[in-house]
Chains A and B, each alone.
Chain A
Amino acid sequence: SAVISQKPSRDICQRGTSLTIQCQVDSQVTMMFWYRQQPGQSLTLIATANQGSEATYESGFVIDKFPISRPNLTFSTLTVSNMSPEDSSIYLCSVDPRIVTGGSYNEQFFGPGTRLTVL
């Protein structure tokens, strides 16, 4: 398994500002993922963050709005830019430690999430 921490755990922000969310993993992982969970909804994948390359974004999500950094194998950041109330969500990072640990099964582990409220 993997232990994942996120900062901040929650924040209240003003419209038009930006917030950077940090995700730290206790072991090296190749692939990290960022998800959004809007109120009352299930999880939607924003992007896959690979170390040493550009993030891969899902349909409906763009780099200008959600820039991602992945400076090493244990850390990633997601920035929510030029925020509006529609960005109010829980943002979660997850990892698949399989490739580094040599396991044979794909199993994802999630961080505790960042609850964002935009006024």
Chain B
Amino acid sequence: KQEVTQIPAALSVPEGENLVLNCSFTDSAIYNLQWFRQDPGKGLTSLLLIQSSQREQTSGRLNASLDKSSGRSTLYIAASQPGDSATYLCAVYAGGGNKLTFGTGTQLKVEL
């Protein structure tokens, strides 16, 4: 059974800092990994999708990497802003009915 873990569970940083969020998964036989953002009480916004054959994806200040063999992914946020405050979730897709397995989430707070 696939299990997805995210570290740290919560993170508070001053504005302008670069930061890294971690995601690990137990079964490396995945097709892709997706990073989401969730604002309090809201739905999910897709940030980045990395295919299993890719090493990284970039969108603006966000960069996600994937090391499939070691079961790890990182989300790098450059020059953090208060508007980045949210919960960040990673999810892996391993086939079998398009089912996503979600991580536990990292709650990020960027302070002025």
B94 to chain A, nearest CB (A): 10
Query: Can you report 21 residue pairs joining A to B where beta carbons are below 8 Å apart?
Result: A33-B100, A42-B102, A42-B105, A43-B44, A43-B91, A43-B100, A43-B102, A44-B102, A45-B100, A56-B97, A90-B41, A92-B43, A96-B98, A107-B32, A108-B34, A110-B43, A112-B42, A112-B43, A113-B41, A113-B43, A115-B41
A9 to chain B, nearest CB (A): 9
Whether B97 pairs with A111 at a CB distance below 8 angstroms is: no
Decide yes or no whether B63 CB sits under 8 A from chain A: no
Whether A45 pairs with B43 at a CB distance below 8 angstroms is: no
Whether B44 pairs with A42 at a CB distance below 8 angstroms is: no
Interface residues on A, range: 20 to 34
Q: Give the number of residues in B that approach A within 8 Å (Cβ atoms).
A: 23
Residue from B32, B43, B51, B105 whose CB has the most chain A CB atoms within 10 Å: B43
Decide yes or no whether B99 CB sits under 8 A from chain A: yes
What's the Cα separation between A11 and B99 when bound, in Å?
27
With a CB–CB cut-off of 8 A, which chain A residues contact B46?
A: 1, 107-110
Whether A42 pairs with B103 at a CB distance below 8 angstroms is: yes
Instruction: Annotate B22-56 by CB proximity to A: 1 below 8 A, 0 otherwise.
Output: 00000000011010100001111110010100000
Main secondary structure of the interface of A (DSSP, over half): strand
Which A residues between 80 and 119 are near B, CB-CB below 8 angstroms? 90, 92, 94, 96, 105-113, 115
Q: A-side interface residues toward B, CB under 8 Å?
A: 1, 4, 6, 31, 33, 42-45, 48, 56, 58, 90, 92, 94, 96, 105-113, 115
Whether B44 pairs with A110 at a CB distance below 8 angstroms is: yes
Q: Which residue of B lies closest to A95 (CB)?
A: B98
Whether A106 pairs with B41 at a CB distance below 8 angstroms is: no
Q: A58-B99, A108-B34 are in contact. List 18 more A-B contacts (CB 8 A).
A: A4-B43, A6-B43, A42-B102, A43-B89, A43-B100, A43-B102, A44-B102, A56-B97, A92-B43, A96-B98, A107-B34, A108-B91, A108-B98, A109-B46, A110-B44, A110-B46, A112-B43, A113-B41
Q: Which residue of B lies closest to A99 (CB)?
A: B98
